[in-house]
Structure formats: structure tokens, C-alpha cells
């Protein structure tokens, strides 16, 4: 995908912090148990009156402000959320209205925690095809609303937040190379069973706690190690680059063990890995843009740096991309 680049980033994080110690007061777990298995120390939790679109809109406004762009100059809004505002309309449509991007098309991409990479692919394609000059890509989550807070296998993992990226037409040297895929046989490993047409809400689904996120962590771990490395190599091959030419590795923040194992198998040194899960937990579709913003803030993400982004999640889906950082 040529002649497209990320011009700016924006983030939004709820102010409330939930630590491992606080969780352990109401659940049979401990800070040590959570940290050794996930790497997570704390996470952000949105207040009851905040939805994914609210966080997405705030992140989007910040990304636009950095470019001094009027929201009406955005042609398309593409949003990814594991847990959207509602079944319909799209979270992107709600966020676009909140931002004031009333001239833009708006729709959601649902690819689990891989959603932000997929949204970049769709948004970038719109730019290169001439369908849009400027695309606002959003990844936003209030996953805390979909967690069973009696299930320590899942509730300790996730946090809330949002990230945004503005895609614009670039020069000849600006390109993004992708590798995308999905294995539907893994669908039972990670899903929210009830609430859709297959299992509508009922007294039974509520009683049986079927409206919460369900995950087979062991199988997802195996899937990630098996698939993510292959996907990263696919994106590198599409970009015509070797792993030694990558400056920063920006993985989905699912679990520190997964991140370290994938990086080791790729042959990447620890200084090239960007992580935020220690302070933010697994922020699902927001994890990659939040990592990019963190790397920019701490001075690691500089113009000309080559990045490898990778995600995986429900579907079971995966997606990786390689790009050169050229903001502004």
C-alpha cells in the first residue's frame, strides 16, 4: 500500500486507576499472581457515564488538533472496538458526531483485538484508492463493562482507553505493508456468546453469565505464538525488509509472556519492544495506538524509524504491518 502515512496520534485514558492489590481485595488473587503471569500492575477503568465513543472522540480530537485540522476536513472515520457502544449504529458514527466530523463516512471494523491493524488497512486503502484524503482511525475500549469480575482468568487482564491516528496521502517513499488473516476454527476460544442474533438476550443468558467475555487463555497463548511470528514475517516480506531493519516492535498488549516470546522468536532485542500493559493492561483495539503514543512521548518514536506493528484476537484473527514513521 503506497503513498499513505500516519500523520498524527491522539490518546484518551480514563483517570481512574485499578491496581492489582485493589482487585485482590474482592477476588482470590494477588499482585504477585497477576504480575508473574501477565506483567500487568494496574489498568484504567472508565466511569459509568463513559462509552467507547466518548474516549474515541477525545483521542480523535487530540490527533486532529496536532495537525490543526478541522473535523470537517476528515473524509472517513474507521473505528475498531472489541466492545462497541451498542450493536448498531457504529461506534464510528457516534464518535464522528461527537468530534464534529459530519462530512465523513463512518463505520466500524470488528476483528477482535486485531481491529486497529485492520482499520489501518481499510483506512489506508481508502487513501491510496483516492476515496479519501484524510482518514481518522480509532481504537477505543471500555472492556471493563464486558468482564465477569468473579473470573480471575479474564477480569485482571483488561483496561479501558482509546487511541487515534490520522492517515493522509504521502509521498512515493511512504508505504504500509500488511499481512492479515483469520482462523474461524478458533472462534470458541475467545468470544462473548450472548447478545447477538445467534444467542439473543434472555433470562437464561443473563443467569448463565453469557454476556461476559469468555476466553481459553491457554489456547489463545498457543495461537499467538504459532501465528503472530508468521504474520510478522509476512508483513516484512511484503515490505521487502528484514527483521534487522526494524527499529521498534509495537505488539498488541495481551500478555508480557506472549510479547517477550514473540520478540525472542523474531530475533528482536528488548530495547526495540514497546509496551504499556504494565500500567494499562490489555486495552484491546486501543493497545497499538496507545503504544505508539507512549513511544512518541518518551522519544523513541522519531521520524524515519521503521515500525513493525502486530495484533491478534477474537476470530481468531491476526494482522501485522510495517511502516516508516513520518508524522506531520
Active site residue 113: yes
Angle value at C-alpha 20, between 14 and 21, nearest 5 degrees: 115
DSSP strand E in the chain: where? Answer: 4-12, 17-19, 42-44, 76-80, 105-109, 134-141, 161-169, 176-182, 190-191, 214-215, 248-251, 306-313, 317-324
Q: Tell me which residue of 246, 307, 295, 299 sits closest to 117, measured CA to CA.
A: 307
Active site residue 282: yes
DSSP class of 273: B
Angle value at C-alpha 160, between 136 and 176, nearest 5 degrees: 35
- Choosing from 252, 255, 291, 321, the catalytic residue is 252
* Sequence-ordered list of residues with C-beta below 8 angstroms from that of 146, at least 6 positions apart, any chain: 82, 83, 192, 211, 212, 213
Give me the residue label for grid cell 523513541.
300
- Dihedral sign (CA 68, 71, 73, 79): positive
- Choosing from 113, 155, 232, 321, the catalytic residue is 113
Strands 317-324 and 176-182: antiparallel
Contact between residue 254 and residue 312 where contact means Cβ atoms under 8 Å apart: yes
- Choosing from 191, 255, 282, 291, the catalytic residue is 282
CA 153 to chain centre: 20
Active site residue 255: no
Radius of gyration of the chain (CA): 19
Q: Which residues are designated catalytic? A: 113, 252, 282
Amino acid at each position: 500500500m503506497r503513498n499513505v502515512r500516519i500523520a498524527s496520534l491522539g490518546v484518551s485514558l480514563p483517570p481512574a486507576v485499578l491496581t492489582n492489590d485493589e482487585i485482590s481485595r474482592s477476588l482470590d488473587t494477588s499482585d504477585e499472581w497477576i504480575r508473574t503471569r501477565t506483567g500487568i500492575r494496574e489498568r484504567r477503568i472508565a466511569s459509568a457515564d463513559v462509552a467507547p465513543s466518548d474516549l474515541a472522540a477525545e483521542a480523535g480530537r487530540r490527533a486532529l488538533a496536532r495537525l490543526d485540522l478541522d473535523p470537517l476536513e476528515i473524509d472517513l472515520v474507521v473505528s475498531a472496538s472489541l466492545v462497541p457502544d451498542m450493536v448498531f449504529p457504529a461506534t464510528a458514527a457516534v464518535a464522528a458526531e461527537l468530534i464534529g466530523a459530519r462530512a465523513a463516512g463512518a463505520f466500524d471494523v470488528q476483528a477482535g483485538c486485531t481491529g486497529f491493524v485492520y482499520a489501518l488497512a481499510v483506512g489506508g486503502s481508502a487513501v491510496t484508492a483516492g476515496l479519501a484524503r484524510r482518514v481518522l482511525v480509532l481504537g477505543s475500549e471500555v472492556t471493563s463493562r464486558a468482564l465477569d469480575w468473579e473470573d480471575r482468568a479474564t477480569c485482571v487482564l483488561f483496561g479501558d482507553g482509546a487511541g487515534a491516528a490520522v492517515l493522509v496521502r504521502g509521498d512515493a517513499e511512504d508505504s504500509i505493508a500488511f499481512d492479515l488473516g483469520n482462523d474461524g476454527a478458533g472462534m470458541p476460544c475467545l468470544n462473548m456468546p450472548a447478545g447477538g442474533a445467534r444467542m439473543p438476550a434472555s433470562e437464561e443468558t443473563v443467569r448463565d453469565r453469557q454476556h461476559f467475555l469468555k476466553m481459553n487463555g491457554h489456547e489463545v497463548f498457543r495461537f499467538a505464538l504459532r501465528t503472530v511470528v508468521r504474520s510478522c514475517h509476512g508483513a516484512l516480506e511484503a515490505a521487502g525488509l528484514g527483521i534487522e531493519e526494524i527499529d521498534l516492535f509495537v505488539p498488541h498488549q495481551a500478555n508480557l509472556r506472549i510479547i517477550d516470546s514473540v520478540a525472542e522468536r523474531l530475533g528482536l532485542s528488548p530495547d526495540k519492544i514497546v509496551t504499556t500493559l504494565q500500567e494499562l493492561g490489555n486495552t484491546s483495539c486501543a493497545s497499538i495506538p496507545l503504544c505508539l503514543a507512549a513511544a512518541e512521548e518518551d522519544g523513541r518514536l522519531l521520524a524515519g524509524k521503521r515500525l513493525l506493528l502486530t495484533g491478534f484476537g477474537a476470530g481468531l484473527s491476526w494482522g501485522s504491518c510495517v511502516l516508516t514513521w513520518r508524522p506531520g
